[in-house]
Amino acid sequence: MFRKVLIANRGEIAVRIIRACREIGIPTVAIYSQADANSLHVRLATEAYCIGPASSAKSYLSIPAIISAAIVSGADAIHPGYGFMSERADFAEICAKHGIKFIGPTAEAMRKMGDKATARQTMIDNNVPVTPGTGILKTPEEVKEFANRVGYPIILKATAGGGGKGMRICRSDDDVETNMNLCQSEAQNFFGNPDVYAEKYLENPRHIEVQILADQYGNVVHLGERDCSIQRRHQKLLEEAPSPAIDEATRKEMGAAAVRAAKAINYESAGTCEFLLDHDGKWYFMEMNTRIQVEHCVTEMISNIDLVREQIMIASGEKLDFTQDEIMLRGHAIECRINAENPEKDFMPNPGTITGYVTPGGFGVRVDSHAYQDYAIPPYYDSMIGKLICWGRTRNEARRRMYRALKEYVITGVETTIPFHQEIIEDPVFMSGNFNTGFIEDFYKRTGKDKK
């Protein structure tokens, strides 16, 4: 087992990893920017090192600073969490050169799945359905040729993209040149790679993803699916498992496809295959995320498997100690992302000091957060300050428990998405389970709420 694990991240995921390491008995190293000196992960870790100023580029994205902290602290493994360095193949390679284990997939696997165009071809080669699409496109004329062949709308995507960045929808030839320039520029700024490709755009599909675990010995299992359809600007707000739109036959097909994809690239660690489900029940591969995801908690709640712990054990050379047949999914779980944002002002971030903080509790309720009373939310990073996860024997029981827990969750001093989630949970369309990625826009239209 590792002597010491450095967490190359911040916020709630850093706290989550520290807790998993503590339960295994591994000392932890936190890194932090000057803006995060009072963050909870700094307080909970065995030791902590400041690695730079508030800017992510000079702290959490600084490979020399992170590696230096690992060497100075004597850490022999690094867990990247999600975001930041989690899908940087070059970072994984640099860790290896310094004798530090990267807790995640190999650099080769990350490159195969991190480049979305390569990932598409890998899926095609392994009999996994994909939407009509292209390789890397260089000119607007190439985009138009594809669009006029498959029909508008199409979507332009950064090949190295993720998190809703580097994506533009084109509905006619008139949109192509401007959107391609914007997409390439955003791709360069966020991912250091301007390459883009195109896909046929499915209007308001369901967003379904399948969680997999794979060890270093070729053993791969899936842990069912999550429904992530409730999102704004391609960023998720609420997730649940299992999906109310998936039957058992489709669940098995999607799970088998995700396992084939992982085996095709000799994948190890936790990973997620994301799919789009259209209105006719047909599903298509979208991308693979080669990391732990924000919404991993709902899968943990229905599978009773600690995904972060499994990541650590796999990286240390352990085999999976369960087979596909031994995985039992029970009940239903829902996660609400608690963001410091104002939904009435188009989800504008609202950093500031939390003046009051009371978390909910009770059976089947979990809160993953780095927030506390008097914590100052910095304006430099993602606005998520926590996740509220509720489990129930049925979807309706989980939903009712979530509503109760949201009513108990008190955060004052900053605007949050808690009141908005209360409305979603009680919304008749959400309650029906019959919704798609257009839910938020539809919600505003149906309720007469105006995003100012």
Nearest to 413 by CA among 353, 338, 372, 370: 353
The per-residue pLDDT for 452 is 47
Please write the tens of the pLDDT for every residue from 395-413: 999 999 999 999 999 999 9
Q: For residues 146 and 151, give the distance between their C-alpha atoms in angstroms, rounded to a whole number.
A: 8
> Residue 335's closest CA among 283, 298, 284?
298
Mapped onto helix, strand or coil, the DSSP state of residue 225 is: strand
In Å, the largest CA–CA distance within the chain is: 59
Read off the pLDDT of residues 36-86 as tens digits, 9 standing for 90 and up.
Answer: 999 999 999 999 999 999 999 999 999 999 999 999 999 999 999 999 999
- The pTM (predicted TM-score) of the whole model is 0.91
Tell me, what DSSP letter sits at residue 84? Answer: T
**Per-residue model confidence (pLDDT) at position 201:** 92
Decide if 202 contacts 278 (C-beta within 8 A).
Answer: yes
How far is residue 81's CA from residue 102's CA, in Å, rounded to a whole number?
11
pLDDT of residue 394: 98
Task: List CB contacts of 22: < 8 A, sequence separation 6 or more.
Answer: 28
Helix, strand, or coil (residue 105): coil
CA 134/CA 356 separation, integer angstroms:
51
pLDDT of residue 177: 96
Under 8 Å between Cβ of 99 and 76 = yes
Structure token pair of residue 196? 């883009």
226 is catalytic: no
Integer Cα distance of 119 and 109 in angstroms: 10
Rounded CA separation 365/367 (Å): 7
3-state secondary structure (DSSP) of residue 124: helix
User: What is the number of alpha carbons within 13 Å of residue 100 lying toward its C-beta?
Assistant: 28
Question: Looking at residue 159, what is its pLDDT?
Answer: 85
Residues 16, 111, 251, 291: which is the catalytic one? 291
Cis peptide before 153 (omega within 30 of 0): yes
Tokens of 184: 């390439």
Question: pLDDT below 50 — which residues of the chain?
Answer: 452
User: Helices H, strands E: what count in the chain?
Assistant: 15, 22
DSSP string for 339-392 = ESEEGGGTTEE--EE--EEE---STTEEEEE---TT-EE-TTS--EEEEEEEEE
The pLDDT score that the predictor gives to residue 121 is 86
Among 288, 253, 239, which residue's Cα sits nearest to residue 424?
Answer: 239
pLDDT digits (tens, 9 = 90+) for 108-121: 999 988 877 788 88
pLDDT at residue 163, rounded to an integer: 64
Produce one character per residue of 412-439: b if its CB has 16 or more CB atoms within 10 Å, e if not.
Answer: ebbbbbbebbbebbebeebeeeebbbeb
Question: Is the separation of the CB atoms in 425 and 399 below 8 Å?
Answer: yes
Element (H, E) at 78: strand 77-79
